[in-house]
Chains A and B, each alone.
Chain A
Amino acid sequence: MTYPEALQELVEEFQAIEDKRERLEMLFELADEVVELPNDQWDDETRVRGCQSEAHVRIGITDGRIQFLSAADARMVQGLMGILTIALDGLTPAQAVLIPPTFAEEMGLLNTLTPSRSNGFRNMYDKVMTELRQNRGD
């Protein structure tokens, strides 16, 4: 499938960067896109397993549209969350669940990330998609 327009643009931007350090710095900047899940709302329900650092996500639905809240103690993980925030923004759960996880690989981020982080990203993606399917009533 094709990605939502904002996500497609991000994929192309990452693909244009050859230097790993620059890719990382761009990922760090995307951390600012996160709608923060406050620390006092972190619990076992929100925790993303498989990450080396603390990472938490929560899905909210307002007027049928997704609100993605997240937080992590590593800027890199927050950057990944920032990408998901952009990807999911304004979508309905039914639209969002059609987004495949391949964008991270296409952005060259899975090369940037360690295997544990890659698994952590996949765990985060799977957790978000599972919750969206539940919200959709699957």
Chain B
Amino acid sequence: MLRDQFPILQRKVNGHPLVYLDNAATTQKPQVVLDAMNDYYSKSNANVHRAVHTLAGEATEGYESCRSKLKQRYNADRAILTSGTTEAINLVAHAWGRAKLQSGDVIVLTEMEHHSDIVPWQMLSEERGVELRYVPVSQDFTLDMEAFEHALDGAALVCVVHTSNVLGVRNPLEEIIEKSQAVGARVLIDAAQGLPHSTVDFQSFGADFMAFSAHKMCGPTGIGALLVTQSAFDEMEPFMGGGDMIETVTIEGSTYQTNEHKFEAGTPRIAEAIGWTAALEWMETFDLENEHSRLIEIASWVAEELRGLGMNVYGRHGEHDAAVVSFLHPTINSEDMAHLLDARGFAVRTGHHCAQPLLHRLGISGTVRASFYVYNTREEAEALVDELRGIVEKFA
């Protein structure tokens, strides 16, 4: 059974079996990922790209195999390894944004973005006088596409979240990309919540940049990637300077690598890359599309049950949305709810989920969020609903 491969799911929390439903924050790791990282440190630990000794060769091969795997899985020209989605987006803001954008240029964002796809652009805007336009979210939890079309006028870059971490709503990316390309804008997709639930052919998809993290798809924390088209890659200037990103260094100046290493200064995340490769290979042992269908069915059922308990549920739980259920009870505080759940072993998230503009639009300051992933079962969902029913009966 897939679930048996996750040692952490055997543990108890506060005397109860762990029901881990905070997967939109981070997922758990299967044994093969833990083993791969442990093997690297036990048998092959060395720095990459430099020495000629055997261990260095093994470490380099392990690190670069992650890049190869990403390029193959997502059919991408370029895959820059970063610390995660946040660093990947910041990399675009620095390496591409500061090279290409100037005062008066327009970046289109949406109110649905995670803070990591807002703050880097606000910083760039303050520094360069770039104009930011935000596409509003409608009452049905989708982007206002009419407003999006208006916002596109003169846009140089469009940044949009693949799937909302609060609502689970998958945006109409194909339409967004097509319309953005029509006005000559580059497109960045924040796919942190999207790629754990679906895959993509990056080259035919049409976006220029796609950022995502390993830890939301059963890989380690501390590593992620930026997929880049060759033409956008050619427009990027070095961001962080240091070892490994250079070709030559003299006291007069330096020349840089021409491949992805140009954006990976310093010793990279070697064990994490090896762990991520193991996770990506592990994800090929089952049908992700089938798993996604199963999970969205569970999430949709939970959402309906919670409405029946008097909860306000935020999201639509459509076929391609992520299995995320954000909810609030009219009288029970969300943090109180999460603490009561934790006391019975349920791990859920509360708060603004790093998406304050979206919550502001929805007129709330936070939600309780249960997010499901491939190891979650229907029985766990039923247990969650039962527990919430008990909490409502006792505390509402």
Contact = CB atoms under 8 A, between A and B. Distances in A.
B14 A76 contact: no
A21 B344 contact: yes
Interface string B1-32: 00000000000001100000000000000000
Contacts of A24: 339-340, 343
Interface in A51-82: 52-53, 73-77
A74 B343 contact: no
A19 interface: yes
Contacts, number: 38
A123 interface: no
B335 interface: yes
A135 interface: no
Main secondary structure of the interface of B (DSSP, over half): mixed
A120 B344 CA distance: 23
A114 B350 CA distance: 11
- Sorting the interface of chain A by its residue count into under 10, 10 to 19, 20 to 34 or 35 or more gives 10 to 19
A74 B335 contact: yes
A102 B226 CA distance: 46
A28 interface: yes
B333 A21 contact: no
A24 B333 CA distance: 14
A138 to B, nearest CB: 34
Interface string A20-44: 1100100010000000000000000
Contact of B335 (A19, A21, A53): A53
A52 B351 contact: yes
Interface of B: 14-15, 333, 335-336, 339-340, 342-344, 350-351, 366, 395
6 contacts: A19-B14, A20-B15, A52-B335, A53-B333, A53-B335, A76-B333
